[in-house]
């Protein structure tokens, strides 16, 4: 079970890093700059969470996240011509990673003794702030604030976890249901072009 | 007295969130994205302060700040056509909130045992970094760095507090004077178009 | 020896602040805004490092960094016409500061008990994140991610330090060699227009 979760974690990290590296390459970043954007996309959300929780950022305790991001850079460099054909695969990886990251954020925050609403916020931050920092670095308005149900999928996953716990479900099952909901909302919203309404400006 | 301060705190939070939400709506953010920008504008400064002070961010200990920001979103959605007419009201709320946030930042920093100059910096960060992060999120050059006496009003308020303490004034009176100075400088600088000179570039 | 290091620290801080203030002036920032950008450029990298290490940010324990940044602002205001002629001088100062900042970051991280690879990352963050935050504030794509060997010079300096320690060299000598390597790579890469290849985008 640990192995499966670790595998999902690496896949998610890889997909998040790939998304950062690809956007950086579209902006003429050099290899090292693209790597930095990839790493920040992959670990940024969890790092903000850990800073807010006053804990040592998770990637400082083991090098695997930086290594996986390095493989993502190599992958983009070597398979440049094929990367675009793998869009759907990366999207699935990304959605799996998102589900997992949200759960990790929620569980860790509850472990630190915070109430459930803080955990939902932290799960959302874990899942979505990496992409937000990525877009700031490439000097774009963060995509997740304008389009797609992304951060909101994290919120729904968090609420689902809350409900599961209220129903006294075992912790592992609650986590599985919650991650699946994040994953499902993400997939369905993209497939059926469901999005949050744009906030209309003043006349 | 507590009630009055809490009331000012909510009003300030509301006004800060409104400013974030309105700027986000001008950039076609969706509802959730606008809410995120509103929250970050309202709690960003205090969060940076608390991270620098190595304390748990204030909004993680009670949900009222996220709730007030939610009301700000509802307000902008429902009263969209009238929001622009309330510009002056929001401006007053914003200035009151600014005065209060600066004091909260200063008092907390002194409580943590830091010297007065750190407290002045922290008061300024509490008051102005939320707006700075807001402008980064909407991909604009931060307004407070280019125009208006905003952050500088916080600095003057902090220095006033310092002088009050040197004159052995009671703490509550010092806080009131200092907040009033922040508020007054802010109002007067906008009313009379007083601003810091622009730094001339090289030829 | 302490005096020489302190002198380098001030020179580096001055040069970093100057770079922020000059870029801010090109974007029509006011004096106070330019000062903020200068300070953030000078202390931003070390602040991110200290937050990640869960330590009180270094500039909060003594005011010299804010004071030196203030002198940098005065310098740009007073000697505006001559600043551009000092480009080479500032570049040298900046490279010296970079070498020193990297070492400070590495040594501090090792003191906190982290392994060498974390120290290399922290050295790089100390040296390069100030410039990254600067570019975010002036709403540009961070220069160090697109051009020049800057962050990578920090990485090489960190690896050099690692090798020196493996060779059981004394700590002071290792630091000197490592800082010199950062400085040398930086100078040579600019002089001979050596840069990391740009990551080619997809067709």
DSSP string, C68-127: HHHHHHHHHHHTHHHHGGGHHHHHHHHHHHHHHHHHHHHHHHHHTT--HHHHHHHHHHHH
Structure tokens at B102: 């600066």
CA distance to partner chain A, nearest, from residue B65 (Å): 12
B137 contacts A132? CB cut-off 8 A: yes
Residue of chain C whose Cα is closest to the Cα of B118: C60
C-alpha–C-alpha distance, residues B129 and B142, integer Å: 10
Handedness of CA C116, C118, C119, C121 (dihedral sign): positive
C201 contacts A25? CB cut-off 8 A: yes
- Give ipTM to 2 decimals: 0.92
CA distance to partner chain A, nearest, from residue B166 (Å): 35
C-alpha–C-alpha distance, residues C42 and C131, integer Å: 8
pLDDT at B203: 59
C136 contacts A137? CB cut-off 8 A: yes
C-alpha–C-alpha distance, residues C164 and C186, integer Å: 20
Average pLDDT over residues B147-158: 90
Q: Give residues with Cβ within 8 angstroms of A86, minimum separation 6.
A: none
Q: Are B100 and B123 in contact (CB under 8 A)?
A: no
Question: Is the pLDDT at C1 greater than 60, yes or no?
Answer: no
pLDDT in tens, A108-136: 999 999 999 999 999 999 999 999 999 99
Q: Give residues with Cβ within 8 angstroms of B147, minimum separation 6.
A: B195, C30
Question: Is the pLDDT at A155 greater than 90, yes or no?
Answer: yes
A24 contacts C145? CB cut-off 8 A: yes
**A189: number of Cβ within 10 Å:** 17
Cα first-last separation, chain C:
55
Handedness of CA C57, C62, C64, C67 (dihedral sign): positive
C-alpha–C-alpha distance, residues A38 and C153, integer Å: 19
Structure tokens at B14: 């509301």
Q: Are A115 and B56 in contact (CB under 8 A)?
A: no
Confidence of residue C20 (pLDDT cuts 50, 70, 90): very high
Q: Are C52 and C43 in contact (CB under 8 A)?
A: no
pLDDT in tens, B23-64: 999 888 999 999 999 999 999 999 999 999 999 999 999 999
Average pLDDT over residues B138-167: 91
C-alpha–C-alpha distance, residues A64 and A14, integer Å: 11
Handedness of CA B134, C51, A24, A149 (dihedral sign): negative
Q: What are phi and psi of A105, to 5 degrees?
A: -65, -45
Pick the closest to residue C129 from A71, B121, A137 (CA basis).
A137
Q: Which of B33, B54, B83 minimises the CB distance to A146?
A: B33
C-alpha–C-alpha distance, residues C81 and C78, integer Å: 8
Q: Which of B18, B19, B29, B33 should we substitute to test contact with A (largest number of A Cβ atoms within 10 Å)? A: B33
For residue A28, what is the DSSP state?
Answer: T
pLDDT in tens, B94-111: 899 999 999 999 999 999
Question: Is the pLDDT at A201 greater than 80, yes or no?
Answer: no
Domain ranges of chain B: 2-191
For residue B198, what is the DSSP state?
Answer: B
Q: C62-98: b or e for each residue (b if 16 or more CB lie within 10 Å)?
A: eeebbebbeebbebbbeebeebeeeeeebbbbbbbbb
pLDDT in tens, B2-25: 677 788 888 899 999 999 999 999
Q: Which of C22, C29, C77 minimises the CB distance to B145?
A: C29
pLDDT in tens, C104-157: 999 999 999 999 999 999 999 999 999 999 999 999 999 888 877 889 999 999
C-alpha–C-alpha distance, residues C125 and C130, integer Å: 8
B146 contacts C33? CB cut-off 8 A: yes
C-alpha–C-alpha distance, residues B84 and A156, integer Å: 33
The residue written with tokens 């699946």 in the block is A180
SS (H, E, C) C124-170: HHHHHHHHHHHHHHCCCCCHHHHCCCCHHHHHHHHHHHHHHHHCCCC
Distances (CA, A) of B23 to A106, B51, B93, B135, B138: 30, 26, 17, 9, 7
pLDDT at B100: 93
CA distance to partner chain A, nearest, from residue B126 (Å): 16
The residue written with tokens 């072009």 in the block is A193
C-alpha–C-alpha distance, residues B8 and B19, integer Å: 16
Q: Give residues with Cβ within 8 angstroms of C145, minimum separation 6.
A: A24, A29, A30, A32, A33, A34, A36, A37, A137, C132, C151
pLDDT at A114: 97
C-alpha–C-alpha distance, residues B160 and B175, integer Å: 9
Average pLDDT over residues B113-134: 96
């Amino acid at each position: 079970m640990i192995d499966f979760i670790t595998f999902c974690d690496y896949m998610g990290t890889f997909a998040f890093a790939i998304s950062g590296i690809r956007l950086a390459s579209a902006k003429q970043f050099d290899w090292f700059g693209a790597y930095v954007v990839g790493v920040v996309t992959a670990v940024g959300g969890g790092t903000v969470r850990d800073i807010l929780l006053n804990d040592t950022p998770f990637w400082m305790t083991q090098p695997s996240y930086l290594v996986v991001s390095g493989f993502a850079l190599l992958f983009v460099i070597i398979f440049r011509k094929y990367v675009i054909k793998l869009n759907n695969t990366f999207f699935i990886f990304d959605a799996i990673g998102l589900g997992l990251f949200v759960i990790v954020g929620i569980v860790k925050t509850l472990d630190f003794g915070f109430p459930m609403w803080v955990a939902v916020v932290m799960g959302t931050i874990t899942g979505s702030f990496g992409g937000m920092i990525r877009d700031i670095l490439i000097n774009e308005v963060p995509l997740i604030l304008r389009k797609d149900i992304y951060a909101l999928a994290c919120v729904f996953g968090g609420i689902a976890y809350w409900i599961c716990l209220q129903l006294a479900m075992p912790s592992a099952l609650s986590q599985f249901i919650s991650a699946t909901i994040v994953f499902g909302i993400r997939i369905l919203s993209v497939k059926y072009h469901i999005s949050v309404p744009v906030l209309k400006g003043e006349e």
